[in-house]
Amino acid sequence: MKYNYEDWTVIVTGGTRGIGKAIASDFLKQGAKVIATYFGNDETANQMKEEFKEYKISTAKFDVANCEEVEAFFDDFSKHNESLEVLVNNAGIRKDNIVGMMPSQDWHDVISTNLTGTYNMSKYAIMQMMGKRFGRIINITSPSGKMGFAGQANYAAAKAGQVGFTKSLSKEVAKRAITVNCISPGFIDTELIKDLPADLVKQYKSSIPVKKFGKPSDISNVAMFLASKESSYITGTTIEVTGGL
Ligand code: NAI
């Protein structure tokens, strides 16, 4: 489906690879100005800028978990941009371990990036959106937050937290025509799950009704839809894109 996001400004956290890259790319192709943020890899970010040099792309490197860095990013953002139509809170990490063996640092890192990062970014984004009385916040959660997978207590807690955060924030900003929703991707072929052992991959695939992992574009399709003006009556909810998992 074609959308027209000409004149829109979109921030996608973790937007230079995987699911975030697919979402950023689709917004760029529909005419939006996109700021793809990232934390680690300059090379990947530069490749993305090169690949989309004909489009309105920029990148920004900072840690979404660090509220000072997020504030500095938005200070700069508001100097160079008139409005913000869409924020996609996509940045996320996994540090799996059973609870009894989980280092406290791994607990905090996963909560800070996935959940506190969503809060940090949303807090400043809604300030940009309120005045214009329009906005879309899309948070990328996970089925782990709903089902809980063994070895993912930190990740499951963070992802379930995003769902609760989404419901509360959606009620706070609905009057300003800002919608807040989650997308819950099933297993999507990206770097994030590259470390899964082959036997586990086989086991997971056989448990998915459509019998395969999804692609980043399966998620970006839904992000395009949720961002559209036509989706104004959808808020505070989660759309599951899991192949029936
Ligand atoms: P990925 O590992 O390819 O990309 C993650 C992105 O997040 C990277 O661009 C990275 O730079 C960024 N990031 C990580 N920590 C950051 C921080 N502290 N500050 C700023 N940026 C940071 O992963 P993938 O698969 O594209 O995941 C995207 C989102 O989708 C994540 O939130 C993940 O939890 C979620 N998800 C992924 C699934 C999958 O099967 N791939 C399934 C369910 C949810």
Candidates 12, 43, 153; CA nearest to 94 is 153
How many angstroms separate the CA atoms of 100 and 83, rounded? 46
Look at the chain and count its residues.
245
Q: Can you list the alpha helix ranges (DSSP code H) found in the chain?
A: 18-29, 42-51, 67-80, 104-111, 117-132, 144-147, 153-173, 198-207, 216-227
The token duo for 192 is: 């994030």
Kindly give the confidence (pLDDT) of every residue in the chain, 245 residues in length, as a single tens digit, with 9 standing for 90 and above.
789 999 999 999 999 999 999 999 999 999 999 999 999 899 999 999 999 999 999 999 999 999 999 999 999 999 999 999 999 999 999 999 999 999 999 999 999 999 999 999 999 999 999 999 999 999 999 999 999 999 999 999 999 999 999 999 999 999 999 999 999 999 999 998 888 899 989 999 999 999 999 999 999 999 999 999 999 999 999 999 999 99
Candidates 162, 163, 172, 161; CA nearest to 126 is 172
The token duo for 154 is: 């930190």
Q: What is the pLDDT of residue 2?
A: 81
Question: Whose structure tokens read 């489009």?
Answer: 55
Pocket test for ligand 1, best of 26, 46, 89, 93 (most atoms within 8 A of CB): 93
Atom nearest to 15 CA in ligand 1? 9
Question: What are the domain boundaries of the chain?
Answer: 9-241
CA dihedral 62, 90, 200, 204 (to 10 degrees): 180
How many other C-beta atoms can be found within 10 angstroms of the C-beta atom of residue 58? 11
**Residue at 29: amino acid letter:** K
Alpha carbon nearest to ligand 1 atom 41, residue: 188
How many angstroms separate the CA atoms of 212 and 204, rounded? 9
Q: What is the pLDDT of residue 148?
A: 96
By annotation, the residues acting in catalysis are 155
152 to 19, 35, 162, 193, 194: CA distances (angstroms): 20, 30, 15, 13, 16
Atom nearest to 41 CA in ligand 1? 11
What residues pair up with 57 in beta bridges, in sequence order?
34
Q: What is the pLDDT of residue 216?
A: 98
**Residue at 127: amino acid letter:** M
Q: What fold is seen in the domain 9-241? A: Rossmann fold (3.40.50)
Residues having CB within 6 Å of any atom of ligand 1:
13-14, 16-20, 37-40, 63-65, 90-93, 113, 140, 142, 185, 187-188, 190-193
* Residue 61 CA, ligand 1 centroid: distance in Å: 14
